[in-house]
Amino acid sequence: MTAGTAGAAHTQRIREFKMPDVGEGLTEAEILKWYVKAGDTVADGQVVCEVETAKAAVELPIPYDGVVHALHFDEGTTVDVGTVIIAVDTDPGAGPVGEALGEAAAPAEEDDAEPQGRQAVLVGYGAAPSSTKRRARKQQPGVPAQSEPVTAGLQAELNGHSAPAPAATPAAVPVAPAAPAAVVPVAERPLAKPPVRKLAKDLGIDLATVVPTGPGGVVTRDDVYAAAAPAEAAAPAAPEVAVPTAVAPVAAFDAARERRVPVKGVRKATAQAMVASAFTAPHVTEFITVDVTRTMKLVQELKQDPDLAGLRVNPLLLVAKAFLVAIKRHPEVNAAWDEATQEIVYKDYVNLGIAAATPRGLLVPNIKDAGAKTLPQLASELGELVATAREGKTSPAAMSGGTVTITNVGVFGVDTGTPILNPGESAILAVGAIKLQPWVHKGKVKPRQVTTLALSFDHRLIDGELGSKLLADIAAILERPKRLITWG
């Protein structure tokens, strides 16, 4: 068996599984748990690990039959999409993997030393190792052959790396013409991923001045921070004139009594989304306190209804239905702002988001086409949505495309709040705690079930009048729930 044949057989036998894009163009995922280890037998479709993206936890099935050859990353490691995470031996009965190549592998390794020294990277961030070897070009008569350093320099320039320093050559060897000059601009562009380029731009760092330490000469985040550190240290030395200014207090840390937890996954995505929303959409929040005694009585009656047997019936269900009916009466509130085209996009469907607190952070899955569902259908999907979110099994698709959201802060005993819009949505309704309070009812002060609603909306889409009418309608329905029939 030749070296090439042995290498091909080895490639076909050892199948590598890369971190997939599990939803909506996410660029990385954290490996939460491995369900297999090296030496375990796996089958096509078997779940081998659980990963967490910026949106949810997802289980990954392996597409091969065989025996686990190697796990390339430990639990808790964040891996870029497209990176190999596990290798599977698809023909374990053929003997040890090392024997598949035979003695012919030795010269192949020697010949391909340079490609094997380079690591596979994502498309656009460097050159991937070649799977084949070029034949030596036949030298033409009368044409001097290129020296090895010149050839290596050309290849390095084309791959985006700096050319190696040329070795001393005898005077008799002709000097090659300056052909590589045409590809110098390619080498001058530093290699870095888009997030790293954005970080450098935010910090005012020129990537061309940063010393790369990543595989294949790729600039990493740490490289950018290292380049920024000297600049920050030198900055205070610039002003020489003493000007009386207020000195900002320096944060003090007591490492012995403090804990640091890296922000990643769902919590990191939520933090970034909330900052973007708070400083992009002009928020307006309005409040209303309402007597929901009749709604609470209706909840108790619906729990005894055979048509809703086995379904989760609670005040949130009727609040959701009231919100949907109010949106039907004021469809202009169901919209989105398109920054690129400076247009308002009105939507003829309502994807109702429900904010759910989970151990991994706040998730906001939504019920698709919620406005077209009956009360039993809404109750079924609401119960399933909340249960799935608390288990951390919500899919990225279930959290995309929301138009409005409900957040129930009342379950924590909170009266109300000023909720921040989910990015891309027009409104969010906060439901406060329902409590017995003195209330004027039919001319007399009586104890009634009372709650406070808070509606935040995007003032680019919804003006004060429209927002007020929407909130007033929600309150009116909850005060007299028979309006679900007359208005619905």
- Which residue ranges form the domains of the chain, and what is each CATH number? 3-117 (2.40.50.100), 154-162+183-211 (no CATH), 267-486 (3.30.559.10)
CA dist., res. 116 & res. 135, Å (int):
18
Torsion of CA 467, 469, 472, 478, to 10 degrees: -100
Of 267, 464, 427, 412, nearest in space to 347 by CA: 427
DSSP 339: T
pLDDT at residue 375 in the model: 95
CA dist., res. 103 & res. 7, Å (int):
11
Side-chain-facing half-sphere of 336: CA atoms under 13 Å? 19
CA dist., res. 78 & res. 475, Å (int):
46
Task: Please answer whether residues 31 and 79 qualify as being in contact, where contact means their C-beta atoms are separated by less than 8 angstroms.
Answer: yes
pLDDT tens per residue across all 488 residues of the chain? 555 555 555 557 889 999 887 665 567 888 888 999 998 999 998 999 988 876 677 888 999 899 999 999 998 888 888 899 999 998 888 777 665 444 444 444 444 444 444 444 433 334 444 444 444 444 545 444 444 444 444 444 444 444 455 444 444 445 444 444 444 444 456 787 777 787 888 788 888 888 888 887 888 888 888 887 765 555 555 455 555 555 555 566 677 888 887 777 766 777 777 787 887 889 999 999 999 999 999 999 999 999 999 999 999 999 999 999 999 999 999 999 998 899 999 999 999 999 988 877 788 999 999 999 999 999 999 999 988 888 878 888 888 899 999 999 999 999 999 999 988 999 999 999 999 999 999 999 999 999 999 999 999 999 999 999 999 999 999 999 999 999 97
Of 295, 301, 288, nearest in space to 449 by CA: 295
Q: Which residues are catalytic?
A: 459
Phi and psi (nearest 5°) for 370?
Answer: -60, -30
Residues contacting residue 481 through CB under 8 Å, at least 6 positions apart: 294, 295, 298, 318, 322
pLDDT at residue 250 in the model: 55
CA dist., res. 89 & res. 138, Å (int):
39
The DSSP result for 288-318, as a single string, is: EEEE-HHHHHHHHHHHT-GGGTTS---HHHH
pLDDT at residue 360 in the model: 73
**Taking the model in full, what pTM does it have?**
0.56
Of 236, 239, 206, nearest in space to 224 by CA: 206
N- to C-terminal Cα distance for the chain? 77
| One-letter amino acid of 300 | Q
CA dist., res. 125 & res. 329, Å (int):
52
Structure tokens at 262: 């890296």
CA dist., res. 444 & res. 262, Å (int):
56
CA dist., res. 266 & res. 21, Å (int):
16
pLDDT at residue 40 in the model: 92
pLDDT at residue 271 in the model: 76
The SS3 of residue 146 is coil
pLDDT at residue 248 in the model: 53
pLDDT at residue 216 in the model: 77
| One-letter amino acid of 301 | E
Side-chain-facing half-sphere of 352: CA atoms under 13 Å? 27
Gyration radius of the chain over CA positions: 31
CA dist., res. 188 & res. 194, Å (int):
17
